[in-house]
Amino acid sequence: MSRCGWHHGLHVLLCLGLLWLAAAGAAAQTQTVRIHAAQALVSDSPDFPAAQSAPLVALPDAWSLSRPGSDGPVWYRLTFTAPGLRENGELLALFIEHVCSNLQVHLNGQLIHSGGRMHEPITRNCNHPQLISLPSGLIGPGLNSLDLKVVGHALQRVASVHRAGALSALVIGPQSVLADRHARQLALNVAVPQALSAMLLLLGSFMFVLGWTRRRESHLGYFGALSVGWALIESRLWLRDLPFDNATAELLLCAVLPLLTWASVQFLLRFAQYRHRGIDIALPLQALVMPATLLLAGPERLYAMASFWYVLLPLQTLAAAGFCLSTQYRAQRPSFWPMALLLCMATLALVAQYAAQIFGIRGLTMQLAQIAAPVTVMLVGLLLLKEQGPAPAAAEDNKAHLESRIREATAEIERNFTQLAELRVEKVTERERKRIAADLHDDLGAKLLTIVHTSDSERISTLAREALEEMRLSVRGLTGKPVRLIDALGDWRAEVVSRLGQAGIEADWSAPAEELPQTLSARAFVQTTRILREAISNVIKHSGATHCSLRCDLADGDMHIVVRDNGNGIPMELDGRLDRGHGMASMKHRAKQLQGQCLVESGPGYGTVIRLTLPLNRATELA
Amino acid sequence: MNSILLLEDLPEIRAWLSSLVVQVFPGAQIAEAARVHDALGLVSAIKFDLALVDLGLPDGSGVDVVAALREHQPETQSVVVTIHDDDEHLFPALQAGAFGYILKEQARELIIEQLQRISQGEPPLSPSIARRVMAYFTAKSKPQPMSASSASIPHVSLTDRETEVLLRVAKGYTLPEIGVQLTLSRHTIADYVKQIYRKLNVSSRAEAALEAQRMGLFGR
């Protein structure tokens, strides 16, 4: 007796971490009386049937052993004397650890307590310990009789030993002492499982929604279903008065079990990333078959049939757990060890509950198993959440990565588009230039040509010819590609030398002969060609020279061209400027356009020197 | 030069050219045409010794007439008479078989001199055309995948001397200057130039034939 109370305290301390004062229980031991036997009689009479002889039965009294097949009601009578217990005038109480399903208590013939409805549907108090205060006024100085009317169900009509009709040993003692024991029992049997199931309901719903929205994480959904199902089973702790009879209640309770199996097996398989179509079909089917077999077996064989399923269903879950663990082990997933630990815990809890079921053990083992199972489920839930935790972060990273990729791609597309647009513009421009060039040649060119060859005036012919040459150069500047400097020098040499040769002037050309990497833009080439052409024209027309030298050098990024003749030189204007029909202004203007300069030195009898300096880089890139 | 074809669309210029031809080749028969279609008709009817062909014509390009002459009258000397001095316009005509070109706006005396030279087998060659010809043969000499069809086409390539001449023309040296540099006579240099024009034509024709064959026009 004392051992029992002390143990309870210790275990509660261990299991729940609540600081209960075990010493208080120990001090009270001497004042409580445990009753191990009572007169018992099956009768539905409103009072204890004193007329009939009632045999003495030992308590706890399990009806399945003492009166198999009986649904009661059973009247129990016990007698006690109060003096020892009433010494200090304390309130007395009766504590019943387990009575199933319900009871009424009479003290000395007076009804002092009712646990609820005594007829179908009977209030289900199997999990609820009873504490009944014994009114002091009703307790006599001599023998007092305490009558208990217990209603319940035969074992075969319930699915669990714990819900079969039974009455545990009784304890009478000071109410203050027993209240503590009652509170502890109530906490272990009801309050803690209730709290756990409430938490499971929350966690399960959350996980279920999570699994539902993320189809790739279907194991979360099944886990949610498992948690919610568990909470559903535990709802019997909240609902003691059901609106339907025992058979229906038992059937409904049993029908949840294959659903739980379905959820747990699928959770374990999906967690191991395994999916099998047969299993997908078989499990829901089982959830239909199981209640069907119970119905077929009828309420009289409910316990036998349920026992069969009690073996089968946990085995399925165990097999799935084994499979899940082995794949996790092979895949070396980091969640293996915690998962293995939790599944072992769950298995132990399952085995303990199973053993309790078979051997009808009540008490600590049963209570711990009852608490351990939902705790395990919750821990698994937390483990899953921990695994899921990094997922949003990873998704966030992925999203950021994707977004940056998209940004890059967009930028590239925009770049390409711009390039394409530029290309198109260039292409259109090029086409337009060619068209303009063709038009110029066909119209203006033809007309100028006609003037060249039909005009009677030599001056007009020459002007028209020059205009034609200008036009052609302009067109080339308009449409041309960059010209390699070495090629440009070749072209200039050919023109200069042959023109001077035709005019009978000795020509001396010198230019770098090696391979030159520079290029000239079409415009720079054309402008330089014009300047040279003008200079040579001047030599031919005005200088009267017999010799003309032309030197081209490259130095410091500049191109220097010096045209020197031995002619008469250019006569000074009145204002000191060299020009008048010699095109000096246009030569200088063109050189300026190329960011260069054109200097003319001349004196009567000294000939003329034209120094042309063009910045090669500018001429190459710009112009 | 007994029979001369003159293809030019502008009446004044045609008359002017005609007077010029008469001056250079007195007594020659001159057949005038203003359009490609007319010129092609003349080519199929009359045998010409010389053809002066304008390029930009109302109904097409003079290049077609040059090609037709090359095809039907290989002995005829085609000369392009044009307002375009750029190789973009001239090179196709030279590939089609023209022996040189004359720029229309030049002074009468200059054109007369050039015509005389051409008739004596001295076609003109500008640096830019020379560069273009070199680029053409350089690209051709690059190793190409041999096939049965390309093997049957005669491989045309320039001799070292011809290349040397082209190189010097490209650098701006005149033909007489090159003659001095290579210690060759003016006629020999002119022969090289003629040979270069001929090879350009032959190679281009072979290439065109090969291209046509590739496209399945004949040889099935």
| Regions of chain B where pLDDT drops below 50 | 146-152, 219-220
Task: Give the per-residue pLDDT at A132.
Answer: 92
Strands (E), A428-489: 483-484
Angle, alpha carbons A125-A127-A130 (nearest 5°): 65
Residue A387 sits in the same domain as residue A528: no
User: DSSP string of A251-280?
Assistant: HHHHHHHHHHHHHHHHHHHHHTT---HHHH
Q: Please, which pLDDT band fits residue A4 given cuts at 50, 70 and 90?
A: very low
- The pLDDT confidence band at residue A85, using thresholds 50, 70 and 90, is low
- pLDDT of A549: 92
Question: So what's the pLDDT on residue A83?
Answer: 63
Q: Looking at the structure, tell me whether residues A183 and A196 fall in a common domain.
A: no
- Best probe of the A interface among B59, B81, B83, by most A CBs < 10 A, is B83
Determine, for residues B105 and A490 on separate chains, whether the beta-carbon distance falls below 8 Å: no
A448 pLDDT tier (thresholds 50, 70, 90):
confident
Q: For residues A441 and A526, state if they share a domain.
A: no
Query: Pseudo-torsion of CA A240, A246, A247, A251, nearest 10°?
Result: 10
How many angstroms separate the CA atoms of A311 and A288, rounded?
17
Burial of residue A14 (CB within 10 Å: 0-12, 13-18, 19+) is exposed
Q: Which long-range contacts (CB under 8 A, 24 or more apart) does A238-242 make?
A: A238/A194, A240/A116, A240/A123, A240/A124, A240/A125, A240/A128, A241/A116, A241/A117, A241/A121, A241/A123, A241/A124, A242/A121, A242/A124
- Cβ of B131 within 8 Å of Cβ of A493? The answer is no
Tell me which chain B residues have a C-beta less than 8 angstroms from the C-beta of A486: 171
Q: pLDDT band for A410, please (50, 70, 90 cuts).
A: very high
Q: Closest chain B residue to A512 measured between Cα atoms?
A: B171
pLDDT at B144: 53
Rounded to an integer, the average pLDDT of A599-606 is 80
> Of A195-204, A455-464, B3-12, which range is least confident?
A455-464
Please check the confidence at residue A292 and state whether its pLDDT lies above 50: yes
CB A490 within 8 A of CB B171: yes
Asked whether residue A178 falls in the same domain as residue A129, the answer is yes
* Inter-chain CB pairs, A–B, below 8 Å: 73
Q: What is the 3-state secondary structure (H, E, C) of B71-110?
A: HHCCCCEEEEEECCCCHHHHHHHHHHCCCCEEECCCCHHH
Q: Per-residue pLDDT for A513 more than 80? A: no
Instruction: Give A563's pLDDT tier (boundaries 50, 70, 90).
Output: very high
Select from B84, B105, B169 the Cβ nearest to the Cβ of A465: B105
- CB contact residues (below 8 A), chain A span 429-468, against chain B: 438, 441-442, 445-446, 448-450, 452-454, 464-465, 468
The predicted model gives A401-419 an average pLDDT of 91
Structural domain boundaries, residue A422: 411-480
* DSSP letters spanning A35-74: E-EEEEEE---SS--TTS---EEESSEEHHHHSTT----E
* A367-377 mean pLDDT: 82
Q: Tell me the mean pLDDT in the region A140-159.
A: 87
Contact A494 B86 (CB under 8 A): no
- When pLDDT is averaged across residues A595-610 and rounded to a whole number, the result is 84
Mean pLDDT over A540-564 rounds to 88
State the average pLDDT over residues A489-507: 89
Under an 8 A CB cutoff, do B83 and A468 touch? yes
What confidence score (pLDDT) does residue B218 get?
53
Which spans in B25-174 are helix H? 36-45, 62-72, 87-96, 108-119, 127-141, 148-151, 160-170
What per-residue confidence (pLDDT) applies to A183? 92
Is the pLDDT at A28 greater than 50? The verdict is no
Q: Clarify whether residues A217 and A326 are in a common domain.
A: yes
In the predicted model, is pLDDT for residue A562 greater than 90? yes
Among A427, A450, A480, the domain-final residue is A480
Is residue A406 in a domain?
no
Tell me what pLDDT residue B31 has: 92
User: Which pLDDT does position A2 carry in this prediction?
Assistant: 40
Which sign, positive or negative, has the C-alpha torsion A60, A64, A70, A71?
positive
Mean pLDDT of the region A258-276: 89
Say whether B174 and A497 touch across the interface (CB within 8 A): yes
Task: Please answer yes or no on whether B105 and A513 come within 8 Å at the CB atom.
Answer: no
* Confidence at A361, pLDDT banded by 50, 70, 90: low
Q: Give the global pTM.
A: 0.49
Backbone angles phi, psi at A607, to 5 degrees: 80, -170
Chain B positions touching A438 (Cβ under 8 A) are 56
Chain B from 10 to 69: CB within 8 A of any A CB: 10, 12-13, 16, 56
Q: Which of A495-499, A575-579, B32-36, B92-96 has the lowest mean pLDDT?
A: A575-579
ipTM at complex level? 0.83
Contact B173/A493, CB-based, under 8 Å?
A: yes
Q: Are A427 and A517 in the same domain? A: no
Q: Could you give the CA distance from residue A221 to residue A207 in angstroms, rounded to a whole number?
A: 6
> Is residue B144 a contact partner of residue B102, using CB atoms and an 8 Å limit?
no
Task: Give me the pLDDT at residue A395, please.
Answer: 80
A231 and A142 in one domain? no
**Best CA proximity match to A94, nearest among A37, A151, A123, A135:** A135
Residues A73 and A154 in one domain: yes
Instruction: Give the residue-averaged pLDDT of A309-314.
Output: 87
Of A441, A493, A501, the CB nearest to B171: A493
Would you say residue A403 lies in a domain?
Answer: no
The interface residues of chain B toward chain A in range 81-110, judged by CB-CB distance below 8 A, are 83-86, 104-108, 110
CA dist., res. B43 & res. B5, Å (int) = 8
CA distance B16 to chain A (A): 7
Test mutation, A443, A449, A453, chain B, max B CBs within 10 A: A453
* Structural domain includes residue A554: yes
Instruction: Assess whether pLDDT exceeds 50 at residue A13.
Output: no
Contact residues on chain A for B13, CB-CB shorter than 8 A = 446, 449-450, 453
| Model pLDDT, residue A134 | 87
Name the residue among A176, A168, A175, A177 with its Cα closest to residue A29. Answer: A177
Q: Determine contact, residues A184/A9, Cβ cutoff 8 Å.
A: yes
Answer yes or no: is pLDDT of A621 > 80: no
3-state secondary structure of A566: coil
Model confidence at A7, pLDDT cuts 50, 70, 90, reads: very low
pLDDT, average across residues A309-331: 88
Residue range B127-214 forms a domain whose CATH class is mainly alpha
Asked whether residue A585 is domain-assigned, the answer is: yes
Q: B3-119, which class in CATH?
A: alpha beta
Q: Are residues A357 and A505 in the same domain?
A: no
According to CATH, where is 1.10.10 located in chain B?
A: 127-214
Assess whether A476 and A487 both reside in one domain.
no
From-to residues of CATH 3.40.50.2300 in chain B: 3-119
**Mean of all residue pLDDT scores within chain A:** 82
Task: Note the pLDDT of residue A5.
Answer: 43
Instruction: Tell whether A216 is covered by a domain.
Output: yes
Q: Are residues A51 and A16 in the same domain?
A: no
CATH code: domain of residue A496: 3.30.565.10
How many domains are contained in chain A?
Answer: 5
Cβ within 8 Å of residue A208, ≥6 positions away: A220, A221, A224, A225, A227, A228
How close does chain B come to A534, measured CA to CA in Å?
17
Using an 8 Å CB-CB cutoff, list chain B residues near A452: 105
Closest approach of A587 to chain B, Cα-based (Å): 23
Question: Strands across the sheet with A170-174, in order?
Answer: A33-35, A170-174, A92-96, A130-134
In this prediction, residue A578 carries a pLDDT of 54
Going by their DSSP bridges, the two strands A483-484 and A519-520 should be labelled as: antiparallel
From A187, A219, A251, give the residue that closes a domain. Answer: A187
Q: What is the pLDDT of residue A479?
A: 66
- A475 and A528 co-located in one domain: no
